[in-house]
Structure 1
Amino acid sequence: MEDNKICTGPLMIALQYNDLFDLDKLSTSTNTDALPKGRAFTFIKAVQTVNERLVDQNKTESLLFEVILIAKECSEEFKRKIVESVKHYGLEIGKFYFCKKEELINTLQSNKVKLFVSTDRDAVYNALHTGIPAALLNDQADHHILNKLKVIFSGDVIGFSEDTLDSLSDFGFSETQIETFKAAKIRMKEFAVLIGQMRRKFGLENSPLCTCVLTVWGSRNICATALKTLREWGLDADEAFCLAGAPCRPILAVVKPHILLDGGLHNIPESQ
């Protein structure tokens, strides 16, 4: 892997409009209402908090999050509804793209997106396999949790070597899933390097950016290796959890991360 490089430009993040807004609730709203808040709402608000703190510290700061919103082709009226809803909630969206589903990956690549977030596991999978760092949006029911951006990295993916990742077949993971984890590790480094540079701009206390390592299947040694690897990438995790096979949902319910960089590991099998 290449040496870490200092990033001086914006850190581009992309998400889809059906994650930012809850389209299932449209039937209960009127034409004059803003679109209902979706699962990505608290994530975007937390991203804005990080940006605000960075600018407060340095008015000329250039390493800031920039958000791209991608929507499917729709009527001009609904396009205006999306833009107006973004303004209504005070969301800072840098660009809007209205495109066909098959144009999603090309849109992400052409904008040099450093992180694509989605509730759609297939979309996350496709992004990872085309060289785009991607993460799964975690459910944040409380829209008032805005003070910190919380990111979880998979200790299993990072801590296992490429060879030992193959041993996950013993836990029932398929060859396709294991290949996804291998691709995810490469993509995780790209994002971890950037987020590490951003995290170091804050002190140890009262940072608006919190990073965690969650090891679901691996041993304490795997967790320790993951922490060491992240440090080598320039990121010191704020918290670490080693579950050794225990269900991860109770931890997620307590930590309440906004996104999971796990390659799907924490969601398979569903019994977890």
Structure 2
Amino acid sequence: MTVSHLFMQNYTGPLMIALQYNDLFDLDSISTSTDTDALPNGRAFTFIKAVQTVNERLVEQNKSDCLLFEVILISKECSEEIKMKVDESVKHYGLEIGKFFFCKKEELINTLQSNKVKLFLSTERDDVYEALHTGIPAALLYDQADDHVLNQLKVIFSGDVIGFSEDSLDGLSEFGFSETQIETIKTAKICMKEFAVLIGQMRRRFGQENSPLCTCVLTSWGSRNVCASALKTLREWGLDVDEAFCLAGAPCSPILAVVKPHILWDGGLLNMS
């Protein structure tokens, strides 16, 4: 029995995901809104709705299921007015938020660690990289605004991060990546494993058709062999992905525009955005 399978048997959940307030709502609109207006949706809104759909489907199958998503909201700096408006807007939209945290910017990492966050999502790459370098699983919250994806949570894992060997990753310097970026990618692979294991456990509870959870691998730089290696590694971690894309250097944007992921595990490959 592999380490991944042992971990899956012992884990009882929930799978804690952290978001920032400014990604869930458009906070810039506070100055023009009235006391009774709910804040407009931000990038994370469809993600929250998709997560709630996955949780509802899991509970439908097993009311005692413990492996559910729990979302916490974090604000690095905000006024009392923003706190109140965010709280009112969460209630207005019926969003299931487990906890609210208001902390100073320098307290962000400690807040994530103390809450045992399994995935920190942000539209700010600097925050994602900082979290990764401290060992916290972190990924980009992709710009997802279409209503038709509310019923399915979509996650893309980078095949380059998972499929490349450590020696091959060192070779990314030939493509213009700095040592810091390469180290971030290596760290991302380590952080990615635990989340992939848990997502794999969730994914297997649904059939192939009409699943509320869709996982993909996208290999940007690597060859077919790298993509195959990524698929093999994910399978060893307990995750069989729904779709795989091997681009071999072609632009990623057309695929991302079609797949429309909520979560983009790119590990610092800046050209994927």
Higher alpha-carbon deviation: 177-186 or 73-82: 73-82
1:106, distance to aligned residue in structure 2 (A): 0.2
Asked if residue 212 in structure 1 is aligned to residue 224 in structure 2, the reply is no
**Deviation at residue 78 of structure 1 after TM alignment:** 2.7
Q: State percent identity of aligned pairs.
A: 83
Tell me if 1:262 matches 2:266. Answer: yes
Q: Which residue in the other structure is 1:128 paired with? A: 132
Give the unaligned 5+ runs of structure 1: none
- Does structure 1 retain, via aligned residues, the 8 Å contact 2:27–2:82? no
* 1:163-207 deviations in Å (ceiling 9; x for gaps): 110111111111111010000000011110111111111111111
Deviation at 1:35, TM superposition (A): 1.3
TM-score normalised over the length of structure 2: 0.95
Alignment of 1:240 with 2:244, yes or no, is yes
SS of the equivalent of 1:268 reads helix
Mapped partners of 2:77, 2:187: distance in 1: 30
8 A contact 1:41–1:143 mirrored in 2: no
Aligned to 1:138: 142
Specify every segment of 5 or more residues in structure 2 that has no aligned partner in the other structure, as ranges. none
- Residue in 2 that maps onto 1:3: 3
Deviation sequence 1:222-246 (CA, Å, 0-9, x none) = 0000000000000001000000000
Match status 1:196 vs 2:171: no
Higher deviation after alignment, 27-36 or 155-164: 27-36
1:144 is displaced (CA, Å) by 4.2
* Aligned counterparts, 1:1-272, within 5 A: 3-4=3-4, 5-6=7-8, 7-265=11-269, 267-268=270-271
Q: Distance in 2 between matches of 1:164 and 1:72?
A: 37
Aligned positions, number: 268
Map Cα deviations across residues 48-73 of structure 1 (whole Å, 9 max, x no partner).
Answer: 00000000000111000001100134
RMSD between superposed Cα atoms in Å: 1.4
Looking at secondary structure, tell me which structure has more helix per residue. Answer: 2
